[in-house]
Every structure is written in structure tokens, then in C-alpha cells.
Amino acid sequence: MDLQPHPLVRRLESYCPLTEQERQVLRDASREIADFEGDRDLVREGERPVNSNVLLDGMTFRYRLTPEGKRQILSFHVPGDVFDAQSFLLAEMDHSVATLTPCRLAVLPHRAVRELTETHPGIARALWKATLVDAAIAREWMVSLGRRDAQQALAHLLCELVARLDAVGRAPQRSIELPLTQTEIGDALGLSNVHVNRTIRELREARLIALQGRRLVVLDWERLKAVAAFNPRYLHHDV
Amino acid sequence: MDLQPHPLVRRLESYCPLTEQERQVLRDASREIADFEGDRDLVREGERPVNSNVLLDGMTFRYRLTPEGKRQILSFHVPGDVFDAQSFLLAEMDHSVATLTPCRLAVLPHRAVRELTETHPGIARALWKATLVDAAIAREWMVSLGRRDAQQALAHLLCELVARLDAVGRAPQRSIELPLTQTEIGDALGLSNVHVNRTIRELREARLIALQGRRLVVLDWERLKAVAAFNPRYLHHDV
DNA sequence: CGGGGCGTTGACTGAGATCAATTATGGTGG
DNA sequence: CCACCATAATTGATCTCAGTCAACGCCCCG
């Protein structure tokens, strides 16, 4: 029993039980660590990466740009997330990935992933499941983009980030680091930065949240969840 | 060489080469066929299905309902799609699935999927890849919902459906069966049925499409793609 | 032939975008 | 420690795309 288990092992184990041998080969395969500064592309649309990555520390996001220069943010990633497992099977990137903050990654060469998954069906299943949860999160965002108003959508995003960070021990007292500009929040929710500002003010004035600088404190979790109609089922946290 | 290969085998083979043995066990595992009428729920949010399904004929869609009774359609499915592989690994449904038209399904009991994927890493990889393409399609829809206007979003949806149906031989002359009401199109794109009606008229008057009843004919594929800024990369059709 | 679902159109409304300043804030160099 | 700069947050005024409401027509099916 590690006191601080490998984040990848911890995450995959939360999806499927692993044998001690599987844990060990996972640790071996992800020994290579890489550090990146904040606000920097890690992969770009159209590229063909040769590694997948596990986020160990920091925050990243996926995005697409339209020809008119608009940006849609497709997901945010927190420590423990395997944010580009898909590049192992889908050769060409259909979106870009960038850091929000300085980040530490564990590098998983596709070659190693192939070997791991062919030899250990349990690892394959756990990685597959990780990508399915990722897809479930994307579907939930579609509901925000299509059918929730600005206040509901913002509340929902905040609930989700608190829940996901809490699952990796980074939301003490429902307070989290939120290294997002209002423009980035807008690009995630399909809103303008101006409207995000006004919507944050609404939530603040309703005493649901406190948000200053990069720190979010949820003041009234129950009411925030109610505004968002937040049901964490889609995060598939409890097995 | 089958003249009319099993749709599941054909689909998975387009993702990863399979051995003759793998093809055979896939055929064996999906012998059970089920038929359903149109406009009927196949699975509901919160349920724990014991089968996955391959769509053989007809069209289905995923959706979520908000507490206010609004509906967001999350995806459409065409023959060959494994539209709920996720239920194999994520016990509880986070959305519902319904038929648009009368449908024929091949039933894949989770038990069989587990055995297949544990014994045949190639099948596991192909099924995994199918769910990754599904996620890529969801991400592309997020761009429509968040950052495309009604005309761009509608054109993009039509391009996607034509491209996906064409890949399974069901879009001769860029003409397809489109068994969607304008309300359903709106629920997919985050628009009202009224606005969908007006947007269809725009595309019709611009002589980009002809749409009567359930038949869509693309009159000017190049211009329709241009309006949508449609780049089929995200469908990952060519290997 | 009558009714319900769907498509179509018009009139009005509204949530959120855009434009344009102005005011924090945080990092930097002196 | 402080002036300086760029970036981000905030606010007000105006505009617009798309929603809502309401009516009517069409068509299929019983």
C-alpha cells in the first residue's frame, strides 16, 4: 500500500480492480515525466502524437477553433485524467490540447500502451472506461450548451469542477483553485466574456459562491446544485 | 468474403483489422436480433442494461431531459453503430436512447462482450475505437452548440449525416432518408422548432438542399460544406 | 371527414452579443 | 518599495439572433 499511490494507478483502480502485477507495469510504463509552463499548446489539431499523457499536476483543456476565430473549449482536465488516450487509437488529432497552468505530465508512449493493453485486459478495460467517462462528461456539457441558460450552465460547470477535484482530494471545504479567465469560461459555455462576468456577479450576489482571483469557494453547495440541477451520476465516480 | 458482411464485423474491421477467428466469434456473439417500432425508448436514464446493441437497420438517438422538460439530443445513430457500448463498462445509464424509425438491432450481452474483449485484444481495441469516434462526434456537436450560428450548425449536421450514411452505403447521390422532425433537429442543435424551420428555408432558398418529407437531397455539396466549415476529419473514416 | 401531429408564417420579446470605456490586478524592472 | 505595463475584470449602452406565442394549413390515418 503506497501512501501516495501513482495517480494513474489510483485513477484506473477506481474504475476496475487491478492486480499487483498490473499496478507495477503501469508504474513502469509511465516513469517518464515532463513539465510544461502554463498557457501553452501540448498538441495541435491535425498532428499525430506518439504519446498519450496522464496529468499529474496542473490543469489542461481541449479546444477547437472555428474559421471565424471563435474558440470552443471541449473539456477541462484535472490531475489523474488521461486526457488524450484517444490519440493511441485515433491517429490524427481532431482538436488541440493546451495547459491552463504549469503542468506535470506522465508520458505513456503509444507503443507501451499497446503492449500494456494487449497483455493485460484489465488495464485495457480501465483505460477504455476512462475514455467513456470522458465522453459522458462531454455529453453533459452538450446539455449546458444547448438547453441551459447562462446561470444554470455556469453553476453546472462549477459543480462539476468541484466534484471532480474533490474526487482527487483537491476541493477541501468545497473550495478549489480555478485558474480560468472569464473568457475561457465563456469559451467553454458558449458565452461571451461580458456575459460570464454578469452571470458570476449574479451567483455572487445570491451568495452561492465567492470567486476572487483563482480561488473559488462554494458558499451554498445545496443551492448551487439546485440552480444547476447538478446530478453527478454522469461522472460515474461511485462504482 | 461475404457479399453482405455482418454490419458489426464490417464496422469494427474498418477500425482495426480482425482475424477470421475474431470475425467468427463476433458473428456468433451477435446472433440475437431484436426489432422495435419507431419513436420508442430503448433504454432510459438511470437503468442498468445487461446488453449492448448494434444498430442493423433504422435510426436511433440519445437524449437527456432537463427538469424544465427541455430535451437535448446528444447523438444520432446509423446502421453499423454500436450506440451503447458504454453500458458494458458504465453500469448506470446517464442518458436515454430511443428509436426514430422502426429499428433492427443485434443484441450483444455484456457477458459476451466481456468474454470477447478478454480473449481477443483486437476486438477490444476495435470496440474501444468505436466509442472514441463516438466521443469525437460529440465534441464536434459541442462546437455547433457553442460557436456556430443556426445556419452553420444545421448545415454541419446535414453534412455529418450524409457523410456517415455514405460510409455505410446509404447516401446515393448525396441523398438520404432523414426521419427527423424539425423539433428533433432543434433539440439536437439547441434551437426552437420555429427557428429550424426558418433556417431550413434559408438553405432551401440558397439552393443548397432539397428537403421534403423524410428525404434530404444535397443540391450543392461543396457550398453546403463551405457554409458548415465541414471537415470530416473528426469522423475518422479513412484509416 | 375529422383530428392530431407536423410544417409554415407573422408579430413581438428577450437573453445574450457586441462595442466601448474604465478599473483592478499581478508580474517586472529599476 | 514603487512605477509601469499587460492582462483581466467590470460596467453601461445598444443591437441582434433566436425564442415565444399564436394562428393557420397540410397531410396522413383511422
- pLDDT tens digits, one per residue of B137-159: 999 999 999 999 999 999 999 99
Q: Which of A70, A139, A147 minimises the CB distance to B70?
A: A147
Residue A159, pLDDT > 60, answer yes
**How far in angstroms lies nucleotide D22's C1' from the CA of residue B23?**
57
* CA nearest to B99, candidates B115, B84, B117: B84
Q: How far is residue A97's CA from residue B98's CA, in Å, rounded to a whole number? A: 33
B71: CB within 7 A of chain D nucleic strand: no
Q: Averaged over B54-80, what is the pLDDT?
A: 98
Q: How far is residue A186's CA from residue A195's CA, in Å, rounded to a whole number? A: 8
Cβ-Cβ contacts under 8 Å for B23 (sequence gap 6 or more):
B6, B9, B13
Neighbours of B226 (CB within 10 A): 13
* CA nearest to A53, candidates A107, A117, A115, A89: A107
Length of chain A: 239
Q: A188-215, pLDDT tens digit by residue? A: 999 999 999 999 999 999 999 999 989 9
Grade residue A64 by pLDDT with cuts at 50, 70 and 90.
Answer: very high
Grade residue A89 by pLDDT with cuts at 50, 70 and 90.
Answer: very high
Closest CA in chain A for residue B122: A118
Q: Answer yes or no: are the C-beta atoms of A183 and A192 closer than 8 Å.
A: no
Q: Averaged over A137-152, what is the pLDDT?
A: 98
Q: Answer yes or no: are the C-beta atoms of B127 and A121 closer than 8 Å.
A: no
Q: Averaged over B69-86, what is the pLDDT?
A: 97
Residue A239, pLDDT > 80, answer no
* CA nearest to A130, candidates B92, B142, B116, B86: B86
Q: Averaged over A162-177, what is the pLDDT?
A: 97
Q: What is the pTM of this model?
A: 0.96
**Amino acid residing at B193:** N
Q: Averaged over A17-28, what is the pLDDT?
A: 94
Q: Averaged over B11-37, what is the pLDDT?
A: 95
**How far in angstroms lies nucleotide C14's C1' from the CA of residue A149?**
12
Neighbours of A88 (CB within 10 A): 26
Residue B2, pLDDT > 50, answer no
Mean pLDDT, rounded, of chain B: 96
Kindly report which amino acid residue has its CA closest to the C1' atom of nucleotide D12.
A194
Residue A2, pLDDT > 90, answer no
Grade residue A4 by pLDDT with cuts at 50, 70 and 90.
Answer: low
Closest CA in chain A for residue B86: A132
Grade residue B5 by pLDDT with cuts at 50, 70 and 90.
Answer: confident
Residues of A whose CB is below 8 A from B95: 139
Q: Answer yes or no: are the C-beta atoms of A75 and A130 closer than 8 Å.
A: no
A201: CB within 7 A of chain D nucleic strand: yes
**CB within 8 Å: A72 and B147:** yes
**CB within 8 Å: B139 and A62:** yes
**How far in angstroms lies nucleotide C26's C1' from the CA of residue A73?**
25
Give the distance, in angstroms, between the CA of residue B86 and the centroid of all CA atoms in the same chain: 14
**CB within 8 Å: A128 and B90:** no
